[in-house]
Amino acid sequence: MKRTVSTDDAPAAVGAYSQATTNGSLLFTAGQIPLTPDGELLDDADIATQTERALENVVAILEAEGASPADVLKVTVFLDDIDDFEEMNETYAGYFDEEPPARSAVEVGNLPKGAGVEIEAIASLE
């Protein structure tokens, strides 16, 4: 059965979506942009800082369900400029040291609120 997940340690959902959903076995996060839990948008920060903030949001959502980055099976990274890949990847690697999850990284035309990166994850809760 589907259940929504919400935590005050990540930005609140501001539309017709949830921070995450789970069926008890898998957790699917919504895309996280560089928005602090109190609503500060870091869209003018460098891509490393934006990546860190987006991943901190993902981690907060994982932790709300008792999971960690080690439980992540798949990540999708959306970049508004693929030339930022190396800088994003350097920051990203610090969150997934051993046995990193599968990942896709794609360039997109635009991201919400003018962000440079958006990151979503699928994690195992078993």
Q: 104, exposed or middle or buried, with CB in 10 Å at 0-12, 13-18, 19+?
A: exposed
Q: What is the mean pLDDT of residues 45-60?
A: 98
Strands (E), 13-116: 20-22, 26-29, 72-79, 102-107
Question: If pLDDT is split at 50, 70 and 90, which confidence band does 14 have?
Answer: confident
The pLDDT of residue 61 is 98
pLDDT in tens, 81-123: 999 999 999 999 999 988 999 999 999 999 999 999 999 999 9
Q: What is the mean pLDDT of residues 21-39?
A: 97
> Considering Cα of 53, then 61, then 32, then 120, what sign does the dihedral take?
positive
The residue with greater pLDDT, 14 or 31, is 31
